[in-house]
Amino acid sequence: MPHCTPEQLALAALREPLPDTDAAHLAGCDRCRAEVASLQRGVDALAVPELAAPQGSVAPPPAVWAAIAGATGVSVVPRPELVAGGTAPARPAPLPAPAPPPPGPRSPSGGSVVRPNFSRLLLATAAALVVGIGVGAAAVALGTADGDEGLQVAAAALAPLDDRGATGEATVVERDDGSRVLELQLDAADVPDGYYEVWLLDEAVSRLVPVGVVQGGDEASLALPTGIDIGEYPVVDVSVEPLDGDPSHSGDSVARGVLES
């Protein structure tokens, strides 16, 4: 049997299983095994769990930003309630014991070696990363059926966008007839010469759909347009609108949250 191809040996260095005939050859061929070993040094240096894609969010203590601001001289301030991890749902971050520098090669080269078992965790994380990290608002716990009021299908906690401190909770409820309403509880000060308006935005904050007018400190039930995909417009936005007759968004948002189902 001829030697394994260079590509197969590279995959072996990554500890991917080879086809049976290649694996059998590799097990008995010093030359191919030496090639795998020489390629594996780089793999062993870098493919360690400590350098893997992020798996969980941990909010840094406030002193970290203070040090960054001191070192860079910037005068802006991140909103603490939005710092990813700070508002994450109650999913305790995995806190491993402090790890020593990982040792060198994990196993002798050659032979059949199973891939490390942190892979599933990483895959889950990778998917989460693709979806987008740190959306800045936590979903509230979802109930299932809600009596004859309808079925709760998504919910969002609304976080304040500035020092006006408006907060709220939004839930999307599907009724028996298939219609959906956005139930909103808004805690916000009254607007003297204007009103609050609720919008659904896409994640890029480039398109929006108006949903209705609400008062601060009020509960409102707003019908959603038939057929709107809340996966496409997952962001609940509350804006202050002046009484100027202009139906477009004022650009003055006070609270936002992302619907999660």
Partner 1 sequence: MTELLERDGRRVRVADVIPDDGPPPGSPWPDDAEIGRRFAAGDEQALAWAYERFAGQVHGMAVRAFGPGPDAEDVTQQVFVSAWTGRAGFRPHQAPLPAWLVGICRHKIADTWARRDRQRRATEAALAEAQAATGPAAPTVDSTVADRVLLLGELEQIGQPQRGIIELAFFEDLTHAQIADRTGLPLGTVKSHIRRTLERLRMRLEVDGAALHA
The string of DSSP letters for 73-127 reads -------GGGSTTTS--S-PPP-PPPPPPPPS-SS-SSS--PPPTTHHHHHHHHH
Pairing mode, if any, of strands 208-214 and 194-201? Answer: antiparallel
**Of 30-38, 39-47, 133-141, 152-160, which part binds Zn ion (CB under 5 A)?**
30-38
**Closest Cα partner for 253 from 183, 193, 188?**
188
**Closest Cα partner for 84 from 236, 206, 258?**
258
When CB distances are held under 5 to 8 angstroms depending on the partner's kind, the choice from partner 1, Zn ion, none that residue 141 binds is none
When asked if residue 57 is in the footprint of partner 1 (CB under 8 A), the reply is yes
Smallest gap from residue 17 Cβ to Zn ion (A): 17
The count of residues interacting with partner 1 (CB under 8 A) is 98
Smallest gap from residue 36 Cβ to partner 1 (A): 10
Smallest gap from residue 51 Cβ to partner 1 (A): 5
**Closest Cα partner for 79 from 65, 93, 58?**
65
Query: Are the C-beta atoms of 85 and 65 separated by less than 8 Å?
Result: no
Q: Which is nearer to partner 1, 89 or 143 (CB)?
A: 89
26's enclosing H/E stretch is: helix 20-28
When CB distances are held under 5 to 8 angstroms depending on the partner's kind, the choice from partner 1, Zn ion, none that residue 162 binds is partner 1
Distance CA 238, CA 69 (A): 30
When asked if residue 36 is in the footprint of Zn ion (CB under 5 A), the reply is no
User: Which 98-137 positions form the footprint of partner 1 (CB under 8 A)?
Assistant: 98-99, 101-104, 115-116, 118-119, 122-123, 125-126, 129, 132-134, 136
User: Which 7-46 positions form the footprint of partner 1 (CB under 8 A)?
Assistant: 7, 9-11, 13-14, 16, 38-39, 41-46
Site string for partner 1, 224-253 (x = CB under 8 A): -xxxxx--x--x-----------xxx-xxx
228-254: b (≥16 Cβ within 10 Å) or e? eebeebbbbbbbbbeeeeeeeeeeebb
Smallest gap from residue 21 Cβ to Zn ion (A): 12
User: Which 184-223 positions form the footprint of partner 1 (CB under 8 A)?
Assistant: 201, 203-210
Among 10, 29, 122, 222, binds Zn ion (CB under 5 A): 29
User: Which 139-168 positions form the footprint of partner 1 (CB under 8 A)?
Assistant: 161-162
Paired residues of 220 in beta bridges = 184
Smallest gap from residue 171 Cβ to partner 1 (A): 20
